[in-house]
A and B are shown apart, each in its own frame.
Chain A
């Protein structure tokens, strides 16, 4: 039982996670402990090239970045579909090839549509 868990690398991964976290925490703790703490109003204000901050940074941001993220979601999910297909491609043969090509073709039409809709036109 425990062997199989170990062999699945889960335990090792968890141990690694903990030890890496401990290392990072140690360094941050050390720097907090060793570093000075001298605050002032000007020092703690956001850096805007030495000028008084005019507008808050947390405001609605242009949608272009969001559209890119949406495009990414579509294509990343598609790549996630491709992985199991790629692993077992040797067994799938022609049928697997054709079905995936149809899938890709549909996605490609989508990409073409997005480009034509000027999603990537950052004007």
Chain B
């Protein structure tokens, strides 16, 4: 066992020290606040601008990517008409949604009906702020990063729930109830999976967790526990994102459009955009915690290879890992059919949750006995 694991460790993880010192934008602003307050404000303004720009790019890029990928999965081309290879299609769609009528049903709870998509998108955007995209750009880096992500992320379910309920439509209500039951159930598993990495890294701060993977990504380093946790997180976050095979809250062949049946125009677009940015956040968190974030891929002993890998900027590493996971989620969506609500609940409470707990136990034993691949940072 020891020989095998040390072989694996040497093979996969002998990694040179990383050269980057992660600093969040907030920290930069704090450093210069005392003597140059304007510079601090400049940093913050730049951070916000980049954040919002980032947001638009991610949203539009993902929608375009999804439509193109779906098209090619389905033996068609996807958008081709607006712009080169349909590149401007998303902009055209946004403009169209912008000038559409914003219908609020007469019997709906109007305040909540307007509030719901705002909640959904705000939660998503706030979660985006903590993603450590590169060592030099992370908007906020709180010491309870993992909790922040789960906490802010779970405000999103409120948006869905309120939206479905306030519409006063039975299909919407069914969709919202399904969403509520599904998202909160899978949240437990997702959080448990993240907990494994917290256990190994000994920190909740995302930048620290990334740094702790300088000696190897957690998915490899923690024997099987990391891999199990990674797949648990992948399944659970697919369910939290309401994507196929867990797209029951929308379930367009069952519930017409599910929780957003009564939404139109921009507020429908917000639900839609929230789903896509959520997908990015979930993939980014998975990449950060399990796949080393912006850390390059290294193999012990192959110095030339490692040098080439290190020459690739960390932002690219992050984008590749996140993009790969997003592609995986899209692949799921365009391949799988939908589960049924009781099968969904059974999968979570009777399978994923026990597996998550056993995995936690296993990870705790690993750490207690010192059977991990590399020392755990103090």
What is A's interface to B at a CB cutoff of 8 Å? Answer: 2-4, 6-9, 11-13, 15-17, 19-21, 23-25, 27-28, 30-32, 34-39, 41, 43-49, 55-58, 61, 64-65, 68-69, 71-72, 75-76, 79, 82-83, 86-90, 93-94, 97, 100-101, 104, 108, 111, 114-115, 120-122
- How far does the alpha carbon of A94 sit from the alpha carbon of B354 in the complex, in Å? 22
Instruction: Select the residue from A2, A11, A86, A90 with max chain B CB neighbours within 10 A.
Output: A86
- How far does the alpha carbon of A78 sit from the alpha carbon of B364 in the complex, in Å? 16
Q: Known contacts being A3-B30, A31-B99, A56-B168, is A15 close to B44, with CB within 8 Å?
A: yes
The answer to whether A76 and B357 have CB atoms under 8 Å apart is: no
| CB < 8 Å neighbour of B349 from A79, A86, A88, A115 | A115
The answer to whether B52 and A46 have CB atoms under 8 Å apart is: no
Taking CB atoms, residues of chain B closer than 8 Å to A56 are 107, 168
Taking CB atoms, residues of chain B closer than 8 Å to A34 are 98-99
Q: Known contacts being A15-B44, A28-B267, A35-B101, is A72 close to B187, with CB within 8 Å?
A: yes
The residue on B at minimum CB distance from A104 is B357
Question: By DSSP majority rule, is chain A's interface helix, strand, loop, or mixed?
Answer: helix
How would residues 338 to 377 of chain B score, 1 for a CB under 8 Å from any chain A CB and 0 otherwise?
0001100110011001100100110011011000000010
The answer to whether A16 and B51 have CB atoms under 8 Å apart is: yes
Binds A, one of B75-83, B121-129, B233-241: B121-129
The answer to whether A87 and B184 have CB atoms under 8 Å apart is: no
30 contacts between A and B (CB under 8 A): A7-B27, A8-B142, A9-B24, A11-B29, A11-B44, A12-B47, A20-B126, A23-B52, A23-B125, A24-B118, A24-B121, A35-B98, A39-B103, A43-B103, A44-B104, A46-B262, A57-B172, A72-B185, A75-B188, A76-B188, A83-B204, A87-B203, A87-B204, A89-B202, A90-B202, A108-B357, A111-B354, A115-B350, A120-B345, A120-B349
Taking CB atoms, residues of chain A closer than 8 Å to B27 are 7
The answer to whether B368 and A87 have CB atoms under 8 Å apart is: no
- How far does the alpha carbon of A97 sit from the alpha carbon of B369 in the complex, in Å? 11
Q: Does B100 lie at the interface of the complex (its beta carbon under 8 Å from any beta carbon of A)?
A: yes
The answer to whether A48 and B48 have CB atoms under 8 Å apart is: no
Q: Known contacts being A6-B30, A20-B122, A89-B364, is A37 close to B376, with CB within 8 Å?
A: no
How would residues 155 to 180 of chain B score, 1 for a CB under 8 Å from any chain A CB and 0 otherwise?
00000000001011111110001001
Binds A, one of B64-72, B190-198, B284-292: B190-198
Q: Does B140 lie at the interface of the complex (its beta carbon under 8 Å from any beta carbon of A)?
A: yes
- How far does the alpha carbon of A58 sit from the alpha carbon of B40 in the complex, in Å? 50
The residue on A at minimum CB distance from B264 is A35
Q: Does B261 lie at the interface of the complex (its beta carbon under 8 Å from any beta carbon of A)?
A: yes
The answer to whether A86 and B195 have CB atoms under 8 Å apart is: yes
| CB < 8 Å neighbour of B342 from A4, A111, A121 | A121
| CB < 8 Å neighbour of B367 from A30, A76, A89, A120 | A89
- How far does the alpha carbon of A114 sit from the alpha carbon of B350 in the complex, in Å? 11
Instruction: Select the residue from A36, A76, A83, A88 with max chain B CB neighbours within 10 A.
Output: A83
Q: Known contacts being A9-B142, A15-B44, A101-B361, is A69 close to B181, with CB within 8 Å?
A: yes
Q: Does B326 lie at the interface of the complex (its beta carbon under 8 Å from any beta carbon of A)?
A: no
Instruction: Give, as a whole number of angstroms, the nearest-CB distance from B48 to chain A.
Output: 5
The answer to whether A57 and B26 have CB atoms under 8 Å apart is: no
Q: 18 additional contacts, CB 8 Å, given A88-B202, A97-B364, A122-B345?
A: A3-B34, A7-B27, A9-B140, A12-B129, A17-B122, A19-B48, A25-B118, A27-B266, A31-B99, A32-B102, A35-B99, A44-B104, A47-B256, A48-B169, A56-B107, A86-B202, A111-B349, A120-B342
- How far does the alpha carbon of A119 sit from the alpha carbon of B302 in the complex, in Å? 54
Q: Does B228 lie at the interface of the complex (its beta carbon under 8 Å from any beta carbon of A)?
A: no
The answer to whether A16 and B30 have CB atoms under 8 Å apart is: no
Instruction: Give, as a whole number of angstroms, the nearest-CB distance from B256 to chain A.
Output: 7
The answer to whether A49 and B256 have CB atoms under 8 Å apart is: yes
The residue on B at minimum CB distance from A100 is B364
The answer to whether B180 and A24 have CB atoms under 8 Å apart is: no
Q: Does B97 lie at the interface of the complex (its beta carbon under 8 Å from any beta carbon of A)?
A: yes
